[in-house]
Chains A and B, each alone.
Chain A
């Protein structure tokens, strides 16, 4: 007879499962964590390689000559920016037109749900300026984008200068097969969102923008440039986009290949890669780089202007120039040549980038871990929940449990979640009237208040719970809650592995071992801990007070990202993770 249909064998298997359940769970957890840490170990990773045939090797001759002139243009831009007190629209239009581009502008305005520290007002208004370089002989079916943000103060002037210098150089070449759009966007991500929505005729976030008068074809790839100094020591590549989406790995491979060819230092997460992978410090360096990527991806916010392109299936990355204390400096001409080489190679593309991986982690710029290798780490953690569920199911086999008894806690938890999602923004006016706080603080403090109120629920809703006090009542609730958490974390990990993994790492031990006696941690603690860890990894450790301030700003930023760009982290946590965790909190106070 088969393994599961033979009653003797089945009984033996069941007894094994119930006896060894806790040890197996602990082993699985250790294995999951060890697997994850092992991902950064270099022999377990693969070297990056160019997968797209059409892009091939770095076999082009870069001839961009005008780095100094580009820097001069940047200084002009800075002067006009100061004079205009924002985006110097007329000067930009005139300059782009003199370089032979077709220039268009787009106005946009956005009412923020609450003013944050940067904007300090409810209404954000701006203008985007973009110029299209038409391909001399090709039909206007495809386009590439190069963008630089117009930042307040002294930031990113050189980026706009290099952009205009490249526009002039590119205009004189005949080999472009795609239109190139040179975009200068105001207010960073808000302007970029307006431009993208206008370009693709969608309106997902309720923004107000004027329609685009000029258009290229469908955008194949985009690069965003951030350069705030005349010389740089290294170039940093930022990949993480909205909701943890990443561009195709071939874009990172292209950048790395050109950095090697031209001889520029290139980094990811701001960390230079090391060769001594077999030493402890080398390995910890790789782990730190990978953990930074995981944390950035888990936050679900776009870490550069490129992050919003990914939603439209346009591969995009941000290149940041970093000027630190190294001897060897790279000038603007070399940066221009690197971008020229990359754009010539992107010009050769015949289809969208799709040959390489879309889901990966990078412990360094030359090595990567693909989804097939990192998913088992999460699988091992999810296995713990399933084992626990099996164990509870066996324990509850006689008498059969009443599932309806868990309905009340479920409904109440989800109502609390809905409250956490909607109340902070709606009640901020009332809060500002009654308490001496700014709008941002009002929103965050309301969120924390609702969260804590939810914690107090089990004490007050005892009367409504049926089956309370019975031994099996909490087991039924725990079974449902564990399965709910497993499904939730599984779906999250598929979309945003880092978020799913971090939530699993902290919530699974709690969920697996909670009983009416043991205490547990909360998702809020996870967030607090993550904030401190993030600062440590970036080698900027903070004191507790600063960390607390940062923590509050992270919450407000999460709510704002959701309202402005459609980031899914805040609704996920408020509407699903928090109610699920409240069920476990209910179990804790069962008696």
Chain B
């Protein structure tokens, strides 16, 4: 039922056209699930990767209530961190991605394959708090970002278990059947990352990976004062790209595919768009990384007949 139907007076055409533009992509809310799967101090860069994407996503408008952040280890408060309570993504400590308003939903040993799949499919026990749930519906666009150590067809969680590409594809199919997403963008930054999206078969999925099968994703830069590598290359250039995006930016997915060519990344990033129903050129970056606050324009006036008395 159109909003501007029925017997109302028609206002000038321009707001209607604007209204039409708002709903071209078909989604009404945005969610993000950001997962770092490795622990131990020498995997500092994976936590920094995830926190950089978290920072961009928050800056572009998705609120904490719509972000599920899973970090497998606590780098900021690790005993070996020479700058406690910080996680840096650039050497010379230019950018502290830990900030002072980070909200981690799944922490430490709670980041497991089972919890991740339960978050995606919504099969959580009734006692789970809202901050740990992915409460998406059929008009949600979801961004899923995974990083850690991976191989051909699997991603390692916490040094003790793995998730395979088949499991992931089945989880997305469950989400589709339960109508838990409108469109889904899947980004993975691990070695041989492209193997993780090979098995997808549900509609409206778009996937990006930092390296092809048989290639390793490399880390970007070490920081000698901290003593570890700070970021992986793909996410480093992704972060650089996202820093130029603002909430009303019109950059689209084709620009995202160009991030980190082989000359910068050493590995060859890959992407998959055959399951996506729209043309990638028409999908904006902010469709997944930002949160659209839709405004519904109403032409009606409502008379509040009785004043509300305040109680003494």
A residues at B contact (CB < 8 Å): 53-54, 56, 59-61, 135-138, 173-177, 344, 347-348, 350
Contacts and interface: CB of A to CB of B under 8 A. Distances in A.
Contact of A137 (B84, B222, B227, B229): B84
Contacts of A347: 80
Contacts of B78: 177
A176 B222 CA distance: 19
Contact of B41 (A54, A60, A173): A54
A261 to B, nearest CB: 11
Nearest to B77: A137
Nearest to B225: A61
B256 interface: no
Contacts of B15: none
Contacts of A175: 79-82
B79 A344 contact: no
Interface in B203-262: 222, 224-225, 227-229
A218 B164 CA distance: 38
Interface string B170-183: 00000000000000
What 3 A-B pairs are tightest by C-beta distance, nearest first?
A: A177-B79, A61-B224, A138-B79
B227 A173 contact: no
25 contacts: A53-B42, A54-B42, A56-B228, A59-B222, A59-B224, A59-B227, A59-B229, A60-B224, A60-B227, A61-B224, A61-B225, A61-B227, A137-B77, A137-B79, A138-B79, A173-B82, A174-B82, A174-B84, A175-B80, A175-B82, A176-B79, A177-B80, A347-B80, A348-B42, A348-B80
Contacts of A174: 82, 84
The listed residue with most A CB atoms (<10 A of its CB), out of B41, B84, B225, B227, is B227
B23 interface: no
Given A56-B228, A59-B222, A59-B227, 14 more contacts: A53-B42, A56-B42, A59-B224, A60-B224, A135-B79, A174-B84, A175-B80, A177-B78, A177-B80, A344-B227, A348-B42, A348-B80, A348-B227, A350-B40
Contacts of B225: 61
The listed residue with most A CB atoms (<10 A of its CB), out of B42, B222, B225, is B42
The listed residue with most A CB atoms (<10 A of its CB), out of B77, B80, B81, B225, is B80
The DSSP consensus for interface residues of chain B is loop
A170 B82 CA distance: 12
B49 to A, nearest CB: 18
A228 B208 CA distance: 60
Contacts of B79: 135-138, 175-177
A346 to B, nearest CB: 11
Nearest to B82: A175
Interface in B50-78: 77-78
Contacts of A136: 79
Contacts of B77: 137
Contacts of B227: 59-61, 344, 348
Contacts of A137: 77, 79, 84
A174 B80 CA distance: 8
Contacts of A60: 224, 227
A60 B78 CA distance: 17
Contacts of B84: 137, 174
A348 B82 contact: no
A478 B255 CA distance: 86
B301 to A, nearest CB: 62
A175 B40 CA distance: 15
A436 B79 CA distance: 64
Contacts of A54: 40-42
Contacts of B228: 56, 59
A173 B226 CA distance: 12
Nearest to A61: B224
Contacts of A53: 42
Contacts of A135: 79
A137 B42 CA distance: 18
B93 to A, nearest CB: 13
A56 B41 CA distance: 11
A294 to B, nearest CB: 36
